[in-house]
Structure 1
Amino acid sequence: MAGVKKPDPARRSERSRQAILQAARELVSEVGYAKVSVEAIAARAGVGKQTIYRWWRSKGAVVFDSFLALSEGDQGVVLPDTGDIEADLKTVMRATVAEFADPGFEAPIRALNLEIVGDPELAAQYREKLAGPVDEGKKARLRSAQRAGQIAPDADLDLALELLYAPLYQRWLLRSGPLTPQYADALVDLALKALRP
């Protein structure tokens, strides 16, 4: 009997948590957010729904954490810094446009945005855990461009991010036009006209 190991509840809990997060991502991609339920996530993950409610208060919170988990272990957002702010921003904006045009990413993120609109607590969590750190990484690259004289030293970096990303986000949200590399480049060109010294 001395050689028999007792189950490690922490390991079992982490395994269940990962299974729940993966199940949520898969289901949202397969059937769409509206058709996903906590019961379906629990069944796919092989856990009871009470296990989900022990860790999350709503379906939206589970789905949010399922996407947040994709970046766990990252060292934060670091934009490329080749010394050429135009080239670096075009690389990042093209990648963002491609991500938003990808159906596997687009459907779950659109659903998450709908949840955020109606849930102030989830919106605050989104700003704290995802949007805030991502914006800080972007502003770090813009500060580097300011130091190099490529962006005006007095430029408002929060507003600069809005100049770059708000039109893209609006086009995606309203489905008002194609998301193409050319569109990404045009956004960078226009924003840099306003931001250069």
Structure 2
Amino acid sequence: MAVRRRSRPDATRRSESSRRAILTAAFELVGEVGYPRLSIEGIAARAGVGKQTIYRWWPSKGAVLFDSFLMLSEGTEEGIGKGSLPDTGDLGADLRSVLHATVGELNDPRYDGPMRALTIEIANDPELAALYAERLEEPLRAMKRERLRSAQRAGQLPSDLDLDTAIDLIWAPLFQRWLKRVEPVTLDYADRVAETALRALGATGIGHPRT
């Protein structure tokens, strides 16, 4: 009689399942207890894993939270920076569309706590700041540069425009208003930021928001 071998559990699949459970637990807990009270022990308990499992993949709770934010805000970490911004040929409309999406994210209560926690931690942790720059900031800036280069090729922006400064002019105001809580981050504000920035950058042939 033939002996049927019992298949071994897929270690890779099991590891990925544990990893996602850890990231989900970190994201949920920081929203419930805040970053100061977030701990590796708490994350491990929520995820149903040992502390050493977490430390095998991440050096700190800030690093765990960073990866959890990437996974849950973008759907997949590997997808960061591999897409592109809308390019319909109408730079004004495309930028308003992107800024509207940013407004939605900044106003989403699920992300407010984790994003603020990450902002504070990045400012105080050079290693996490370097990780943020490499895995999130620079890939996203590359997408923004490419959209502005497309506008340059179309004659909508000056050919000698400093693209990194332009990116700051377009995107920074929303983040600053959100960070300081001085005024609400609204779609109307996003439209005004886009129009003001594009005028300041010397954009031509761009659409304007409908009234």
Whether the TM-score (by the shorter chain) exceeds 0.5 is: yes
The residue number in structure 2 matching 1:48 is: 50
Number of residue-to-residue matches in the alignment: 197
TM-aligned CA deviation for residue 98 of structure 1 = 1.8
The residue number in structure 2 matching 1:99 is: 105
TM-aligned CA deviation for residue 2 of structure 1 = 3.9
The residue number in structure 1 matching 2:40 is: 38
- Give RMSD over aligned pairs: 1.4
Regions of 4+ moved over 6 Å: none
The residue number in structure 2 matching 1:179 is: 185
Q: 1:16 aligns with which of 15, 18, 35?
A: 18
Q: Deviations over 1:49-101 (max 9, x none)?
A: 11111111100000001112233242623111110000100111111112111
The residue number in structure 2 matching 1:123 is: 129
Separation in 1, partners of 2:154, 2:194: 18
Structure 1 unaligned residues grouped into runs of 5+ = none
Q: Decide whether the 8 Å contact of 1:77 with 1:134 is kept in 2.
A: no
Paired residue type of 1:128: E
* Percentage identity across paired residues of the two chains: 58
Q: What is the TM-score of this pair, normalised by structure 2?
A: 0.89
Q: 1:149 aligns with which of 148, 155, 174?
A: 155
Q: What is the TM-score of this pair, normalised by structure 1?
A: 0.95
Normalized per residue, the structure richer in helix is: 1
Q: Deviations over 1:144-176 (max 9, x none)?
A: 111111111111110001101222221111111
Change in 2 beyond 3 A, CA 1:68/1:77 = same
**Match status 1:27 vs 2:29:** yes
Q: Decide whether the 8 Å contact of 1:77 with 1:133 is kept in 2.
A: no
The residue number in structure 1 matching 2:9 is: 7
